[in-house]
Amino acid sequence: MGLPELWFVIIAILWTGFFVLEGFDFGVGMLHRVLGRTDRERRVAINTIGPFWDGNEVWLVVGGAGIFAAFPDWYASWFSASYLAVLLLLVALIIRGVSFEFRGKVDGPGWRRLWSGTLMTGSLVAPLVLGIALGDLVAGLPIDADGEFTGSFWDLFTPFGLWTGVTLVVLCLVNGATFLGIRTTGELRERAHRAARLIGWVGLVVVAAFAVWTLVVADHGWAPILPLVVAPVALLVSIGAVHRERDSSAFLLSATAMACAVAGLFAALYPQVLVSSTDPANSLTVANAASADYALKVMSVVALIFFPLVLLYQAWSYFVFRHRLST
Amino acid sequence: MDPTDLARIQFATTTIYHFVFVPVTIGLAFLVAILHTQWYRSGDPDHRRLTRFFGTLLLINIAVGVVTGLVQEFQFGMNWSAYSRFVGDVFGAPLAMEGLAAFFLESTFLGLWIFGWNVLPRRVHLATIWLVAIGASLSAAFIMAANSWMQHPVGYTTNAQTGRPELSSIGDLFTNPVFVWGYVHVILASLLTGAVLMLAVSAWQLRRREHGELFHSSVKLAIVVLVPVSILALGVGSHLGVVEAEYQPMKISAAEAQWETCQPCSFSLFQIGGGRNDETPTQLLEVPHLLSLLATGTWNGQVEGLNELQAADVQRYGDGNYVPNVFVQYWSMRVMAYLGSLIALLALWGAWLLYRRKLAVSRVFLFVATWSVLAPVLMNTAGWMLTENGRQPWIVQGLMKTADGVSTSVSTTELAISIGALVVVYVLIGIVYLFLMLRYARRGLELEHADDEPAGDPPTPAITY
């Protein structure tokens, strides 16, 4: 395995990590107003992700910056092609990010409703857009020989991209519900259980269809098969764990389903990084989009030093805030 | 307007806006860490209340700083895809390192600090706010290394096949003199910004509140930091000018509207005219030798004129206009330097009053100090306009022109939509930010809940958001 391949794997890990971690806080963001009936319950729901969401979002920033550094052509083509979609993603992340801090700062029902609304909207739109954009990488976009996008905004809505977006949103919802299950008590926790079961069954169908579709679209290699088979199975077992009120298992299993879905997508993409629907010869690949060896070597060393550190202190922060919050 | 202009407007607007919050975050994080340390040492509940008071302002500020920073991370690919393809091998590395080494640190420990009250052991909790401050200032180091490479490209070789620069020495990126001096300057400016904010809020409280005595200690801290920092920022800034004059002579000559070569050169405090089509400005109030000193560090140094530099650049790079916008250069330089000097004077005035024990009763000083909060915003913005506008027409000095770096697949309509959307969102968030900052800066300390009790067993964090 050469350095470009290593960096493809690192980027896949970063994006998978992002969806596993930020996935549940997107889910809590979408669910907090539905599952929380009183303002107190809604605040508790938000506070379950309070210490984590910002650190989780950095996985996306590093995932993006990693693509910039390791595969500049991929970064340039993907984000300029998805221009308005990325704009929508940014607006969603902006209004969502400020709502955590802003919502609790003024005590009034209108104010709280406003920032609950932005939190929900942002938490829904961000994974949807990211899912569409990731699906587009596999499904292909009209890209010319210079790596430039030749299509229009509507070309971004590939059927497979849309389904990827829906899949990730549903998985975020399930993860949000199972996460609330491990961090809340009483009625809020029971409602989270109900939501996890209900959305879990819907998610099972969605994820199974996604797994089959991905294997059909990416008609090469065996690598995606394993994660894409595991994803729906993990989700099914997770629903069972919710039934038996095994909260930790339920969350770990639904997180596994998310991890496998995203990892399967990246496995299906490899060795390409952005498929050209115009002409397969225009597709960006790990080989033709990568930076030179020296830059990749430097970043590998930096990643080797800092990535384990990051995992350690992030894990520690999850350990510190492991207890349930009571309503 | 052509797409390049629109893309530049968007980048400038979003970056200037983002940088309103960045220096406050870096500066105030250190100051809050110091307040927290004072509380850790004294155990005095008043110090805890002060820490939480300024901590709240810091958090409101970080919320906006973080989300506007997201735009920066993706904008290179969205609007400057040709640039990103061309320089990604070199420019991407510090950006990725910034995320791995700094953003993770800052954001994770911020969460631990916010929710760590009464949960973490006191010593560990104190460490978390210091790690937030260190993370914030580290992130500035990486982004400054990337930016300095655009001002003065070092540590790369050109790939003969693709014609693109490729990283050849990461060490060179972090020993680039433009980076070293620019980074120190940015950190000083950030500390200055944070200290001025703390000074202004404390001054307002001392002026308006009957029981504002608690703010004595924060006003003292602000002034103790502000005196050395504001003077050093002037000195380091002027040395940065000398460094940049060596690599980007156009930038500095344009900042002085110096069309003809001079030796020794005098510095004009004010002038009328002197823009692109006016090479004989009316200069008012000249200080002999000062420009030579500022641009070269010597009494009789020679400063090359824009006309000579233009002729030399045409010879080296081919036809084109290599002179940046002189009006913007000239005035951004002066707004930055004049306000910086005024802040240094304000700091000395405050120090004198502190020494005489008259600060709390000097209504004039407290009034001026309150309004001085506007100065750092203008100074920081002017400083960035000076350094970025002075690089034009290059996006990477000598390697790529700005017009060649823009995304060709992004249409004017798409640009208009994105500028419109971002401006609307930024304005709305800016209004809420100001509303909350004013509300929480004017709040009395006595309204802070004294929740010193452990929140339960096992210790669970207070409902904070």
Secondary structure E strands in chain A: 272-274, 284-285
Which residue, among B17, B60, B74, would best test binding to A if mutated, counting the most A CBs under 10 Å from its CB?
B74
User: Considering the domain boundaries, does residue B341 fall inside one?
Assistant: yes
Written as six digits, the tokens of A199 are 């959305």
Cα–Cα dist B328/B320, whole Å: 20
Looking at the complex, does the CB of residue A91 fall below 8 Å from at least one CB of chain B? yes
Chain A residues lying within 8 Å of B422, measured CB to CB? 87, 90-91
CATH number at residue A144: 1.20.1630
Å from A262 to nearest chain B CA? 21
User: Is residue B348 helix, strand or coil?
Assistant: helix
CA of B455 vs chain A CAs: smallest distance (Å) = 11
CA distance A67 to B146: 16
pLDDT for A12 beyond 90: yes
Residue B76 lies in a domain: yes
On whether any CB of chain A is under 8 Å from the CB of B232, the answer is no
Q: How far apart are CA B46 and CA B41, in angstroms?
A: 12
3-class secondary-structure state, position B458 = coil
- All residues of chain A having their beta carbon less than 8 Å from the beta carbon of residue B110 are 54
| Segment A283-311 mean pLDDT | 94
| Contact criterion met (CB < 8 Å) for A51 and B112 | yes
Nearest to A61 among B70, B167, B429 (CB): B70
Structural domain span for residue A295: 3-320
For strand B156-158 and strand A272-274, is the pairing parallel, antiparallel, or unpaired? unpaired
Quote the pLDDT of residue B275: 64
Residue A326 lies in a domain: no
SS3 A36: coil
pLDDT score of B265? 83
Indicate the residue of B93, B120, B429 with minimum beta-carbon distance to A298. B93
State the CB neighbour count (10 A cutoff) for residue B171.
10
> What per-residue confidence (pLDDT) applies to A170?
97
Give a yes or no: residue B275 inside a domain: no
Confidence at residue B452, expressed as pLDDT on a 0 to 100 scale:
47
H helix or E strand, kind and range, residue B153 = none
The three-state secondary structure class of B160 is coil
B167: which strand partners? B156
Decide if A129 touches B, using CB distance below 8 A.
no
Q: Is the pLDDT of residue B457 over 70?
A: no
Is residue B337 assigned to a domain?
Answer: yes
- In this structure, are strands B165-167 and B156-158 parallel, antiparallel, or unpaired? antiparallel
pLDDT band at B305 (very low <50, low <70, confident <90, very high): confident
| CA–CA–CA angle A199, A202, A206 (5° rounding) | 125
Is A161 in contact with A128 (CB distance < 8 Å)?
no
- Whether residue A327 is contained in a domain is answered as no
Say if A325 falls within a structural domain.
no
Does residue B3 belong to the interface with chain A, where contact is any CB pair within 8 Å?
A: no
pLDDT-based confidence at residue A116 (cuts at 50, 70, 90): very high
Examine residue B44 and state whether it is found in any structural domain, yes or no: yes
Residue B166 host element (H or E): strand B165-167
Query: How confident is the model over B317-335, as pLDDT tens digits?
Result: 999 999 998 889 989 999 9
Q: DSSP for B371-405?
A: HTTHHHHHHHHHHHHHHHHTTTTEEETTTEEHHHH
| Any domain includes A65 | yes
Mean pLDDT value across chain A: 94
- The whole-angstrom distance between B291's CA and the closest CA on chain A is 40
On whether residue B464 sits in a domain, the answer given is: no
B110 to chain A, any CB pair closer than 8 A? The answer is: yes
Does any CB of chain A come closer than 8 Å to the CB of residue B418?
yes
φ, ψ of residue B267 to 5 degrees: the values are -105, 130
pLDDT of residue B63: 94
Segment A39-44 shows an average pLDDT of 92
Cβ contact B165:B157 at 8 Å: yes
Interval A50-54 mean pLDDT: 94
Q: Which residue has the tokens 């020989």?
A: A145
Cβ contacts below 8 Å, chain A against chain B, sum to 243
Looking at chain A, the number of H-run helices and the number of E-run strands are 12, 2
List CB contacts (< 8 A) between A84 and chain B: 414, 417-418
Q: Is residue B287 part of a domain?
A: no
Which structure tokens are listed for A75? Answer: 């970064």
Cβ(A239)–Cβ(A196) under 8 Å?
Answer: yes
The answer on pLDDT for B225 being more than 80 is yes
The contacts of residue A308 (CB under 8 Å, 6+ apart) are none
pLDDT at B456: 57
Instruction: Report the DSSP beta bridge partners of residue B268.
Output: B286
Q: Does B267 fall in a domain?
A: no
* Structural domain count of chain A: 1
Predicted-complex ipTM score:
0.94
What is the DSSP code (8-state) at residue B23?
A: H
Burial code (b: 16+ CB inside 10 Å, e: under 16) for B324-344 equals bebbbbbbbbbbbbebbeebb
Residue B279 is predicted with a pLDDT of: 67
Give the model confidence (pLDDT) of A119-146 as tens digits.
Answer: 999 999 999 999 999 999 999 999 999 8
Average pLDDT over residues B172-177: 94
Quick check: helix, strand or coil at residue B367? helix
Mean pLDDT, all residues of chain B: 90
Instruction: Provide the 8-state DSSP code for B445.
Output: G
Poorest-pLDDT segment among A57-71, A193-207, B305-319: B305-319
Mean of the pLDDT values across residues B271-275?
A: 68
Residue B455 pLDDT? 53
B13-60: per-residue pLDDT in tens? 999 999 999 999 999 999 999 999 999 999 888 889 999 999 999 999
Q: How far is B465 from chain A (nearest CA, A)?
A: 5
| pTM metric for this prediction | 0.93
Alpha-carbon distance of B82 to B86, in angstroms, equals 6
Domain hosting residue B377, numbered range: 20-246+327-447
Asked if residue A217 is part of any domain, the answer here is yes
Please indicate if any CB of chain A lies within 8 Å of the CB of B161. no
Q: Determine contact, residues A311/A20, Cβ cutoff 8 Å.
A: no
Indicate if the pLDDT at residue B91 is higher than 90. yes
In a domain, residue A148? The reply is: yes
Contacts of B464 in chain A (CB under 8 A): 47, 50, 104
A320 CB within 8 Å of a chain B CB: yes
Number of domains forming the structure of chain B: 1
Q: Is B450 or B124 the better-scoring residue by pLDDT? A: B124
Express as a percent the part of chain B with pLDDT over 70. 94
Which residues of B are less than 8 Å from A93 in CB distance? 67, 70
